[in-house]
Amino acid sequence: MVASASGVSSATVSRVYNNPGSVSAEKRNAVFKAAAKLGYIPNKSASALRRNGSGIITLLEIKKEKREYYWAELSLFKWFYADVLKAVKEVTDPSMFQLNLATAANAEDLGKLKGTTDGLICFDVDRMEEAELIADSGLPFIIGHHTKNYTGFPRCSTDNEAGGVLQAELLKKAGCTRPAYITAHLDAVEPHRDRLNGFLSAFGREQVTIIETGVGRDAGFKAAKGIISELKSGRIDGIAAVNDITATGAGYALTDAGLKVQTDIPLAGYDNMPFGIALPFSLLSIDINPAGIYRSAAKMLLEELTGKASQASRIISPFAASNPF
């Protein structure tokens, strides 16, 4: 209908939507005008069918086998995922691709996706084996977001080291010069190492008291409890933690000891979790910008699928949380 209304062939209409440059401006405009008049929206199913692909891009959640520490076991994880989802949709909606969501834990799960999807945006890849598993699927893919060091894979990564620096700056701005840093699982969890390294580079290793006991509220509580006297003497004058929940525990320990969070002792977490509304104190934090990361990832995948040149990797900077809790 659009073709006849604009006096061109259906092939030209198709070209207008898929490769506008190959059609003369004159005909292109005629097509757009007719399309607008008729309320024409290209049919994604037909497109996919003819392209002989599924017409579907999958946002793949990589399910982790039981491991020592994994944040997605927190129900709060869902909040993060929802942000990512929205960002990816922003990119896929105007494209010829429909967005699918899936979870996979192993090669078998990935195999099932084979005929069903044209490409993968892989959420929360943080082990080399996962990256390899995905690559082995044979499907086009982009991995995110703790993937900065996975050279050789198309990826979109957060810069945890930069985040550690930002965290340090947050404390410095509050007047801190000799902070404690609470973390854990440094061997197993690369992002934890990166964050710490960034933090140390900004403060100078000698200024920082590293407390490597555990993550979570209770661990944070204990860690801070253990340095109350140093905090009171001023030997330590601020606390950073590898994530918000650990920082929260530290906050309770401070409160318990009669120290006012932020006022007496600046306290910074990481992740910019949304439970601030329920907390009895505010928290400084770092936002890894999940939406930015996966928006980029989606764009990269789309470029690859449509044959446009695309960069192999991209690093997205985190930012200091602008909404104090």
Taking CA atoms, 222 is separated from 66, 79, 174, 251, in Å, by 25, 27, 23, 11
Tokens encoding 106: 């192993």
Q: How far apart are CA 259 and CA 228, in angstroms?
A: 9
Of 48 and 315, the one with the shorter C-beta distance to a copy of itself is: 48
Radius of gyration of the chain (CA): 24
- Interaction partner, residue 54 (DNA, a copy of itself, none; CB < 5-8 Å by kind): a copy of itself
Report, in Å, the least distance between residue 264 CB and a copy of itself: 18
Of 204 and 280, the one with the shorter C-beta distance to a copy of itself is: 280
**Which parts of 48-67 interact with DNA (CB under 7 A)?**
49-52
Q: Output the furthest CA–CA distance in the chain (Å, rounded).
A: 83
Q: How far apart are CA 143 and CA 160, in angstroms?
A: 16
Is 4 a residue that touches DNA (CB under 7 A)? Answer: no
Pattern 83-102, DNA, x by CB under 7 A: -------------x------
Of 8 and 88, the one with the shorter C-beta distance to DNA is: 8
Is 10 a residue that touches DNA (CB under 7 A)? Answer: yes
Q: Where in the chain does DSSP place strands (E)?
A: 56-62, 98-104, 119-125, 141-145, 155-158, 180-183, 209-212, 239-241, 267-268, 286-287, 313-316, 319-320
- Interaction partner, residue 78 (DNA, a copy of itself, none; CB < 5-8 Å by kind): a copy of itself
Sites of contact with a copy of itself (CB under 8 A): 39, 41, 43-46, 48-49, 54-56, 74-76, 78-79, 81-83, 85, 89, 98-101, 115-116, 216-217, 244-245, 248, 252, 273-275, 277-280
**Which parts of 18-47 interact with DNA (CB under 7 A)?**
18, 22-24, 26-27, 40, 42-43, 46-47
Of 6 and 54, the one with the shorter C-beta distance to a copy of itself is: 54
Pattern 274-293, DNA, x by CB under 7 A: --------------------
152 Cβ contact list (under 8 Å, min separation 6): none
Cα-Cα-Cα-Cα torsion 91, 50, 47, 108, nearest 10 degrees, comes to: -40
**What sign does the CA torsion over 20, 26, 31, 34 have?**
positive
Q: How far apart are CA 186 and CA 207, in angstroms?
A: 19
| Chain positions contacting DNA, by CB under 7 A | 7-15, 17-18, 22-24, 26-27, 40, 42-43, 46-47, 49-52, 96
